[in-house]
Structure 1
């Protein structure tokens, strides 16, 4: 981040991150959910069925907190608990087909505003940005894991 900080880009980058978080919070607010609930719903939608323990690990929350998240999402109709057909003691959380329609619709303004990328930049530049997003995503996941471990890994 030294090159970014030296160029004054750190301010822009922090504003970028803040805009993303506040956008997600606004969506959560409109849905009557918490930000962690929206993130959990996305994780289940992207990864497929997850046990509460696996979801807790990905969210970085205690299992009791994750259980409350699952309860809220289940009440809202976004996810459901299903028993493993091979081990009835195991329960997974899966997205309800079509259940994310309302939540997905809340992202429409974000999608619409981001569509302007195609008007402002060439297809090659857009591809480069998405490559950068992939790199930044991995960097944030790695940093998050390091922070949760207590900062080890430097």
Structure 2
């Protein structure tokens, strides 16, 4: 790479880092507002999101995914269950094991508060062709993996 392209590459990298920080800030504000509407804490929203992606998890697996101590997870699950957000049931293959999953009837309420953002993302994605979207998906997955690795290093 020439010095000019190297300089441009560094500049774009800095711009990407700044854009990611701004996106994180704006998503944090969105989550705070959703949480305020639903009387849910940030970590509770995070747990509901993790459960929506995995469908069901043991409390221990959910704690690991959320980066929490299992004892902390118990209190969060108690609060979410009292609020009607989740249900705990016994694993059919091991009656001693507990499985946690979101309650469908509350999911629509949560999804409705994110509908503006979801529609905006769909509109933004329409501006890109499939190859560009593949590139973006790959970039975001690599960013998520890097974030996960960095968090593990700090654990």
TM over 0.5: yes
Deviations 1:33-75 (A, max 9, x none): 0111111111112112111000000000001111122112212
| Residues 3 and 62 (structure 1), Cα distance of their counterparts in 2 relative to 1, 3 Å cut | farther
Q: Which residue of 1 aligns with 2:97?
A: 90
| C-alpha distance after superposition, 1:1-32 (max 9, x if no partner) | x9775235133332122112221222122111
- In structure 1, distance between residues paired with 2:134 and 2:41: 28
Query: Which of these residues, 118, 128, 145, is aligned with residue 141 of structure 1?
Result: 145
In our comparison, the structure showing a higher alpha carbon Rg is 2
1:85, CA displacement in angstroms?
Answer: 1.9
Structure 1 segments unaligned to the other structure (5+ residues): none
Higher helix share goes to which structure? 2
CA distance in 1, matches of 2:121, 2:92: 42
1:73 maps to 2:80: yes
Match of 1:53 in 2: 60
* More divergent stretch after superposition (21-30 vs 52-61): 21-30
Q: Which runs of 5+ in 2 are unaligned?
A: 1-6
CA distance in 2, matches of 1:39, 1:31: 13
State how many pairs are aligned.
147
Task: State the TM-score, normalized to the length of structure 2.
Answer: 0.79
TM-score, normalising length from structure 1? Answer: 0.80
- Kindly report which structure 2 residues correspond to 1:108-119, keeping only aligned pairs within 5 A, or say none: 108-117=115-124
Q: Which residue of 2 aligns with 1:19?
A: 26
Q: CA RMSD in A?
A: 2.5
